[in-house]
């Protein structure tokens, strides 16, 4: 084994060890949650570095968030604009507000007539609230009003109006900042959070401060400080989009290792064993959510079942059945629209556990675009993520499985630089997903197809080697929350697993070529 492969395995061991240590997970800073937390924090001068960071994230067109994915720019831009209006005396704040106002005036409204399938989390609650607040602050400025979201918000508020207090970890608590008016409607969980959301927790804390100080406020303070540390930014006041992710992070990381045939690698065996034991102990009859103190969902439950089965355990499928409606699986009960990737993961779990899943398989196969790929996914902005996972699920137990339509589209989507990406540039994460899918479809005995795949992998490996750096933290946010975000370790595991797979692939192709030489 060469030195780079050894280094990749060493870094993977380190990442897995961090996940099992109970630090809650690592996740990049959020523009939206940081701005909301600043807005709810009384002392502007005590957060100058955070405000400076927020201003530095503004794009040249005046908005926040990637211009490649405009649907996910409204929430962070509204949040940053409203936070910076409170800090207009700070350097650059007034200019940032003016540019943001111009940006919102120019933006088409994606919610003018309908709600997109991949709308960000809580959009129906968050964006109308911003519009209401902006109406009083910005006077006659013409900005998107998001009318298609209004009936959804009203229906949700009617439902919430009949509730005295939501149980800790309820999914709607994740957007409490957009609907909560009294701190008595929520209570911090065992980590001190309201719905594993820094924005919701900061909003609850601000409202609770108007009443007598309680130990719960100190608990929320401790949570916000811990969430800030999880960004690894070193800037006080920067917080992630969601935290903790102490179930999601290890589940997805081990699942990714399987996609690269690293799950059972001897060098990772002990680190994998520790995480598997933790997941096995945590999985209850109701399933698992992204964090220990958050509501269970079908996605995290399905991936946990996959991981446990891959580790040789025999988990009961009952936990997943709670989310089954007809032949589909809902991520959360009452969700607005089904998730393609949740059903992909449910199908994979069913396949691994030897359970019937014809209806789920039919749904997954039917939810492809005209090119034969999977997109319009509600938890990840890139089509490469659901495509890689769908290919793995559909091929489970079928070593010679190949979908020629998906293969042709994947190969055609490779960029001239050798990488893959749903935006304007290739990313390491998405290139890894492409390699996971190609690896599954390389099992065919068709020599022409295998040669085309090998050529694509060689180009991808060259691109990855030129950009690989030891212990580099991923930066590109592609996962869908209230805005796009980056679960740092999850993405880093994918990057390293993709590179390891490409290296091994290259060595195998070289060996096969040498064996075929006269």
pLDDT of residue 510 exceeding 80: no
pLDDT of 1 reads 54
pLDDT at 518: 42
Find the radius of gyration of the CA atoms of the chain: 23
Mean pLDDT for the chain overall: 93
pLDDT (0 to 100) of residue 86: 86
Mean pLDDT of 298-323: 96
- Cβ atoms of 197 and 10 within 8 Å: the answer is no
| CATH 1.50.10.20 domain span(s) along the chain | 3-23+245-510
Rounded mean pLDDT, 50-72 = 97
Q: Residue 509: is it exposed, middle or buried by C-beta count within 10 angstroms (0-12/13-18/19+)?
A: middle
At residue 252, the pLDDT reads 98
- Outline which parts of the chain fall under CATH 1.50.10.160: 31-178
What letter does residue 380 receive in the DSSP assignment?
B
CATH of domain 31-178: 1.50.10.160
CA nearest to 364, candidates 378, 379, 348, 380: 348
Q: How confident is the model at residue 329 (pLDDT cuts 50, 70, 90)?
A: very high
The per-residue pLDDT for range 242-300, each reduced to its tens digit, is 999 999 999 999 999 999 999 999 999 999 999 999 999 999 999 999 999 999 999 99
DSSP string, 417-465: TS-B-SSSS-BHHHHHHHHHHHHHHTTS--HHHHHHHHHHHHHHHHHHH
Q: Which residues contact 218 (CB under 8 A, 6 or more apart)?
A: none
The DSSP string of 325-381 is ETTEE-SSTT-SS--HHHHHHHHHHHHHTT---HHHHHHHHHS--TTS-----SSBS
pLDDT for 50 equals 96
pTM of the model: 0.95
Predicted confidence band of residue 135 (pLDDT cuts 50, 70, 90): confident
264-273 tens-digit pLDDT: 999 999 999 9
Report percent pLDDT > 70 for the chain: 97
Q: For domain 3-23+245-510, is the CATH number 1.50.10.20?
A: yes
pLDDT(515) > 80: no
Chain segment 213-244, per-residue pLDDT in tens: 688 999 999 999 999 999 999 999 999 999 99
Question: CA 136, 142, 147 angle in degrees (round to 5)?
Answer: 85
> What is the pLDDT at residue 25?
97
What end-to-end distance do the CA atoms of the chain give, in Å? 26
């Amino acid at each position: 084994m060469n030195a780079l492969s050894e280094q990749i395995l060493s870094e993977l061991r380190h990442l897995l060890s961090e996940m099992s240590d109970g630090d809650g997970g690592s996740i990049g800073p959020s523009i939206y949650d940081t701005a909301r937390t600043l807005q709810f924090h009384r002392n502007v001068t005590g957060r100058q570095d955070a405000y400076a960071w927020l201003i530095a994230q503004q794009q040249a067109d005046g908005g926040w968030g990637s211009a490649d994915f405009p649907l996910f720019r409204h929430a962070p831009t509204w949040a940053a604009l409203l936070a910076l209006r409170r800090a207009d005396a700070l350097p650059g704040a007034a200019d940032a507000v003016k540019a943001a106002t111009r940006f919102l005036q120019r933006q088409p409204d994606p919610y003018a007539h309908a709600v997109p399938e991949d709308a960000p989390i809580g959009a129906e609650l968050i964006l109308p609230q911003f519009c209401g607040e902006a109406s009083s602050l910005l006077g006659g400025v013409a900005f998107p009003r998001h009318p298609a979201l209004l009936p959804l918000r009203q229906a949700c508020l009617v439902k919430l109006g009949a509730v005295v207090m939501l149980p800790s970890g309820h999914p709607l608590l994740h957007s409490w900042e957009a609907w909560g008016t009294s701190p008595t409607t929520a209570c911090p969980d065992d980590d001190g959070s309201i719905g594993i959301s820094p924005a919701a927790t900061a909003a609850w804390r601000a409202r609770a401060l108007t009443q007598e100080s309680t130990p719960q406020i100190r608990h929320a303070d401790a949570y916000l400080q811990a969430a800030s540390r999880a960004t690894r930014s070193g800037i006080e006041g920067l917080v992630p989009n969601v935290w903790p992710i102490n179930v999601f992070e290890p589940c997805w990381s081990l699942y990714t290792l399987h996609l690269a045939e690293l799950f059972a690698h001897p060098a990772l065996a002990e680190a994998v064993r520790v995480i598997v034991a933790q997941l096995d102990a945590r999985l209850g009859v109701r399933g698992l959510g992204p964090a220990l103190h958050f509501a269970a969902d079908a996605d995290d439950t399905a991936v946990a079942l996959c991981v446990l089965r891959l580790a040789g355990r025999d988990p009961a499928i009952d936990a997943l059945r709670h989310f089954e409606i007809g032949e589909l699986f809902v991520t959360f009960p009452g969700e607005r629209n089904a998730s393609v990737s949740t059903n992909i993961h449910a199908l994979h779990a069913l396949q691994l556990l030897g359970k019937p899943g014809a209806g789920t398989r039919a749904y997954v196969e039917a939810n492809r675009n005209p090119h034969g790929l999977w997109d319009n996914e509600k938890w990840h902005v890139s089509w490469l993520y659901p495509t890689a996972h769908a290919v793995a699920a559909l091929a489970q137990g079928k070593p010679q499985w190949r979908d020629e339509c998906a293969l042709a589209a994947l190969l055609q989507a490779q960029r001239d630089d050798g990488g893959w990406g749903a935006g304007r540039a290739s990313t390491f994460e998405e290139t890894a997903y492409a390699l996971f899918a190609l690896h599954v479809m390389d099992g065919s005995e068709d020599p022409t197809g295998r040669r085309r795949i090998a050529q694509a992998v060689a180009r991808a490996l060259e691109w990855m080697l030129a950009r690989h750096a030891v212990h580099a933290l991923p930066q590109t946010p592609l996962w869908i929350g209230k805005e796009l975000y980056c679960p740092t370790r999850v993405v880093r595991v994918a990057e390293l697993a993709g590179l390891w797979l490409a290296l091994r692939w290259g060595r195998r192709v070289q060996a096969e070529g040498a064996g075929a030489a006269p």
